[in-house]
Structure formats: structure tokens, C-alpha cells
Amino acid sequence: MSKKDAISKASRVFIAPSAVLEGSIHLESEVSIWHGAVLRADEGTLFIGRGSNIQDLCLVHCEEAKGLHVGQDVTVGHGAIVHGAFIGDETLIGMGAILLAGSRVGAGCILAAGSLLPEGAVIPDGEVWMGTPARKLRETTPEDMARIRSSSAHYQEQIKERNYE
């Protein structure tokens, strides 16, 4: 980290030793940032909400001064790219998914693995999208929401076994 970095962390945050965090970043409690993840907030603030997890090899990068928001209890799957996007609470971003600048994913959503959410695209609350470009597949089900909550809870349990930063 350089002197210009302004990383604020609540209690019970796990940052893997190989993760890179740079710029103005706020991490709420029970957040986990896993191996090889890169969080860059060169221009703007990057916010990660309580209980969210950014998995291995993700790239999370602010778009200019607009910032980037990841809500509470969000899972961002391995290798996903989130560039200048907004992600609502209790949402699952699948492995290898790409969210381009200005895109928005509502609360209680799933963006399937490998999907591409184009610049400025909006996924309303409670929907499942997939594809390249991503399109609505269906509404989320109670089973989907249970899976999203289970993923968040699983990673919160995982960090209890490791040393918090």
C-alpha cells in the first residue's frame, strides 16, 4: 500500500496475503477478500458491504470518480471482473462474470457464471440473468435466495478459521 491508500476496515475482516488493495476502500465487518483478488480504487471509493466475499482472482475496479458499491451478503465468484458497477444486497455474481462500467445489479439477484453485463445495463431486484450479453432468464426463487445466503454464510464461517486483519 502507498501513502495515498485510504483503506478502512471494520472488525472481523479477512484479507488474504496475496490480495492487492489500492486506493480509497471501505470494508464492513465480516468481509473476506480472497487469494489473488485485486481491488483498485484509483479514482473514487470502493465500498464492500457487511458479510460479502470477493473470491480468488477477482478484479474489482472503480470507474473514474463514480465509485463502486458491493452490498451486504454478496458473493463475487472466482475470477469475476467488476468494473465501476453497483451490486445490491444478497446477490450472487457467478465465476468469471464481467460487469462493465455503469452496470447495476439489484438486490436478490444472480448473474450466472461467465456472463457479460454490458455497460449501463440494469438487472432489477429479484432476477436471474445469464449469457453474453446477459439477458433475463427468470425470477429468483426461494431456493435461489437460500443458496445466496448459504454462500455468504459459508465464507463468513471460513474467515473465522483464519486470522482477521
pLDDT of residue 160: 81
The residue with cell 452496470 is 103
Beta-carbon contacts of residue 13 (< 8 Å; ≥ 6 apart): 27, 29, 30, 31, 32, 33, 159, 164, 165
Higher pLDDT, 85 or 11: 85
Domains of the chain: 6-160 (2.160.10.10)
User: What mean pLDDT comes out for the span 113-129?
Assistant: 98
Query: How confident is the model over 6-38, as pLDDT tens digits?
Result: 787 877 899 999 999 999 999 999 999 999 999
pLDDT of residue 2: 44
In one-letter notation, the amino acid at residue 114 is G
For the beta carbon of residue 68, count every other beta carbon within 10 angstroms.
25
Checking if the pLDDT of 163 tops 70, the result is no
Checking if the pLDDT of 3 tops 80, the result is no
Average pLDDT, the chain: 93
For the beta carbon of residue 103, count every other beta carbon within 10 angstroms.
24
